[in-house]
């Protein structure tokens, strides 16, 4: 299942360790039984264990990348856009540069989220996971990615419509382009926060 992938894999990796059995004797002395035979893994189990480690480490790396992108965009927003611009031309040039960086950050964030939909490796001999849960369907990796792409496609259409409307508020005036870019900056940053909330279980666990 999708929720708790990181914790599930951490338990798998830790569970493979074998600890000696020890206990306290009547005199308070620590005693230890004869060593238990070491569990021997099959080649398939060893391969799965390695795949699980790599999957877990890769997810952590992608989560760190997503945080850097998200934090960088938040810092840019908090610093303010184009505080030194004084003319319509200055605003148009500056907002254009700002928007280029913001769009790239969104693309990077989206790319990481798509990759985070990857399912963990299947345990040897395990059957396919359930297709339904107590509250509804359990989507496959492909379905999760398709759902994400559909959300982004719909949001992209909304962005175009909303910011075209912002442009029209200036009735053809020269300030329309600047306001349209401001609209795009605002809505794109808001959308990154939306994605961070929706996909929080992938980004922060």
Task: Provide the number of structural domains found in the chain.
Answer: 1
Is residue 2 situated within a structural domain? no
pLDDT tens, N- to C-terminus, the chain (205 residues): 444 454 444 444 444 433 333 333 444 445 556 667 777 878 888 888 888 899 999 999 999 999 999 999 999 999 999 999 999 999 999 999 999 999 999 999 999 999 999 888 887 777 676 788 888 888 989 999 999 999 999 999 999 999 999 999 999 998 999 999 999 999 999 999 999 999 999 999 8
Is residue 6 situated within a structural domain? no
Is residue 113 situated within a structural domain? yes
Cβ-Cβ contacts under 8 Å for 122 (sequence gap 6 or more): 48
Is residue 70 situated within a structural domain? yes
Is residue 30 situated within a structural domain? no
Is residue 184 situated within a structural domain? yes
Is residue 197 situated within a structural domain? yes
Is residue 190 situated within a structural domain? yes
Closest-CA residue to 80 (of 70, 95, 69, 58): 95
Domain of residue 182, residue span: 41-80+87-121+136-203
């Amino acid at each position: 299942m999708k929720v708790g992938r990181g914790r599930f894999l951490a338990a798998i990796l830790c569970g493979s360790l074998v600890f000696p059995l020890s206990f306290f004797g009547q005199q308070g002395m620590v005693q230890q039984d004869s060593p238990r035979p070491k569990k021997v893994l099959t080649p398939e189990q060893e391969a799965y264990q390695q795949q699980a480690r790599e999957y877990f480490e890769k997810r952590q790396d992608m989560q760190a990348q997503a945080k850097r992108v998200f934090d960088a965009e938040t810092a840019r927003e908090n610093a303010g856009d184009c505080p030194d611009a004084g003319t319509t031309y200055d605003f148009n040039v500056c907002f254009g540069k700002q928007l280029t960086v913001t769009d790239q950050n969104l693309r990077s964030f989206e790319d990481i989220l798509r990759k985070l939909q990857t399912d963990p490796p299947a345990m040897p001999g395990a059957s396919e996971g359930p297709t339904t849960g107590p509250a509804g369907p359990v989507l496959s990796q492909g379905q999760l990615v398709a759902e994400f792409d559909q959300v982004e496609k719909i949001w992209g259409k909304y962005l175009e419509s909303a910011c075209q409307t912002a442009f029209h508020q200036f009735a053809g005036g020269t300030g329309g382009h600047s306001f349209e870019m401001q609209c795009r900056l605002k809505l794109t940053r808001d959308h990154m926060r939306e994605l961070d909330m929706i996909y929080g279980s992938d980004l922060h666990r």
